[in-house]
Amino acid sequence: MKTSPIIALDFDSSQRVFDFLQPFEAGINVKVGMQLYYKEGPAIISKLKECGFDIFLDLKLHDIPNTVKSAMEVLASLGVDLVNVHAAGGRSMMEAALEGLDKGTPVGMKRPSIIGVTQLTSTDERQVREEQLIHASLQESVLHYTKLTSSAGLDGVVCSVHEAAIISEVCGADFLKVTPGIRLPENGTHDQKRIATPEEARQEGSTHIVVGRAITGASDPRAAYEQINGRWRGVERIG
Ligand code: C5P
C-alpha cells in the first residue's frame, strides 16, 4: 500500500461513499471498515478496485486459526491491499491468517499485507488490569503483542502515534505502523483519546496514517486531504 494517508470510509452506503469520493483522484488509499463491509459486502471492494483505489479492509479478525485461515483466503481473493487481525488471537491464529492469505492470493498478484491490532486505542490501563487481568502496563502489553505479531511473520501493527517510536526500535523502521487518531489543530478530538497531528506521526515513525472525520467531516474534503497529505510528507509549512 502506498504511503499516502488512508481515508477511513466510515459511511453507511455505497452511494454515500462514491458521492464522497467524486472529487478525489483514483489511486488514493481508502479504508473499508465493518459498517460499510457488512452493509455492502464484497461488491463495495470490487467497485473501489475498479476505480483504482488501494484498500485497507479493517475487519479485525479474531477466531480459531482454521476459521481465520479460511476467511483470509476469501479476503485475499477480493484483491485488497491490507487486512488485520487481533494479536490476542495468538501466534497460531496469526500464522494461519498468513497461510490463508498466501493460499487465497490470485496467481500473479501480491499477497495483501497483514497487521495486528494489539490493544484497541479505546482500551485504558484499568481495563487491561481489571477486565483482561493482565498485570502489565498498557504499553508493556502493546509491546508484548507487537513482538508476538512480528514473530508470527506479520507485516506490522495498528498503533497510536505514542507507541510508534518504540515499536520502530523493537521491530525496525520497515515494520508497518498504521496510525489512526490523526487530527489537525483546528479539529475536535471526537471520541479518540490519543490523538496526534500528521507531522507528529511522521516524526514518531508511523509508516501510514488513517484519517476519518478530519477529512470526511470537512467542508472541502479534497482540500483537507491535500493539507493533511502535505503535512504528513513534510512539504507544507506547519501552522
Ligand atoms: O474519524 P477518525 O479519524 O477518528 O477515524 C479513525 C478510523 O480508524 C475509524 O475508522 C476507526 O474505526 C479506525 N481505528 C481507530 N483505532 C484503532 C483501529 C482503527 O480509530 N485502534
For 38, half-sphere exposure in the C-beta direction (CA atoms, 13 angstrom radius) is 7
Question: Is residue 187 within 6 Å of ligand 1 at its C-beta?
Answer: no
Compute the distance between CA of residue 23 and CA of residue 28 in angstroms, rounded to an integer: 12
Taking the centre of ligand 1 as the mean of its atom positions, its distance from the CA of residue 208, in whole angstroms, is 13
| pLDDT reported for residue 236 | 58
Q: Is the pLDDT of residue 238 over 50?
A: no
Q: Are strands 82-86 and 113-117 parallel, antiparallel or unpaired?
A: parallel
Q: Indicate the domain borders of the chain.
A: 6-233
Q: Concatenate the DSSP letters of all residues of 131-170 into one string.
A: IS---S-HHHHHHHHHHHHHHTT--EEE--HHHHHHHHHH
CATH architecture of 6-233: Alpha-Beta Barrel (3.20)
For the entire predicted model, the pTM comes to 0.94
Nearest residue by C-alpha to atom 13 in ligand 1: 180
Taking the centre of ligand 1 as the mean of its atom positions, its distance from the CA of residue 192, in whole angstroms, is 8
Residues tagged active-site: 60
> Any idea which of 36-40, 103-107, 130-134, 231-235 has the lowest mean pLDDT?
231-235
Question: Is residue 229 within 6 Å of ligand 1 at its C-beta?
Answer: no
* 51 three-class SS: coil
Single out the residue of 106, 101, 117 nearest to residue 33, CA to CA: 117
How do residues 146-205 score in pLDDT, each as one tens digit?
999 999 999 999 999 999 999 999 999 999 999 999 999 888 777 766 689 999 999 999
- Identity of the amino acid at 198: P
